[in-house]
Amino acid sequence: MSLFHLKPLRQQTDEQLMTRAAAGSDAAFEELYRRYARRLKGFFFLQFGGDEELAADATHDVFLRAYEARSRYEEGRKVDTWLYTIAYNLCRNHYRSNAYEAQLLSTLDAEPVTEQQIEVQLDSATLDQALEQVLAELPPTLHHIFSLHYQEELTIPQIAEIVGVPEGTIKSRLHKTMNIIRKKLKKYEK
């Protein structure tokens, strides 16, 4: 028996817990759920425009899929990257099935761009609300990558693995996203 089987579950790494879950430990899987359910629900909440019920359902789906695939877990693979890969794929499927991205892109292209510069003093809550609106208007692929990097604090290599594209593409998409955000929030510059 390895030493990590003797440590309390809360003291074990994610990878140790997943290895135990793959071997049949429901308690180890429950500990992973405890660690990640809230973060994943927050991720889905942002991705699905604040729809709490949809976020809860998607979170449940991530863990259901992870539980069903636990015996195929590759020892040593980062658990957070694995869970977010499942989450990312669920988001992609959701948007694809609803043809959401095409509709959103056409809406963004139709917005007139004004040159008017207005000096506005805002409190941080107003700026946060404006940022949330801009994020909600982003194409889902850009919103996912932004959320994974800036809100979930995943690294570029982790995101590249989750999304299944080269790191350079992730950097390019993050740069594009930041340019969109800067453009949309320009009127809030002091």
Q: At which of 98, 133, 152 does a domain end?
A: 98
Would 128 be classed as within a structural domain? yes
Domain that holds residue 76: 1-98
DSSP assignment of 15-84 equals: HHHHHHHHTT-HHHHHHHHHHHHHHHHHHHHHHTTT-HHHHHHHHHHHHHHHHHTGGG--TTS-HHHHHH
- The structural domain count of the chain equals 2
**Residue 48 pLDDT:** 83
Last residue of a domain, one of 55, 72, 98: 98
Tell me which of 48, 69, 98 is where a domain ends: 98
Report the distance separating Cα 66 and Cα 70, nearest Å.
Answer: 6
So what's the pLDDT on residue 77?
83
pLDDT along the chain (190 residues), means of 10: 65 90 91 94 87 91 92 85 89 70 54 39 58 82 86 87 88 88 74
**Distance separating alpha carbons of residues 112 and 133, to the nearest angstrom:** 17
Mark whether 150 and 75 lie in a shared domain: no
Please tell me whether residues 94 and 145 are part of one structural domain.
no
Task: Mark whether 75 and 129 lie in a shared domain.
Answer: no
Rounded to two decimals, the pTM is 0.59
Q: Are residues 3 and 84 in the same domain?
A: yes
**Residue 108 covered by a domain:** no
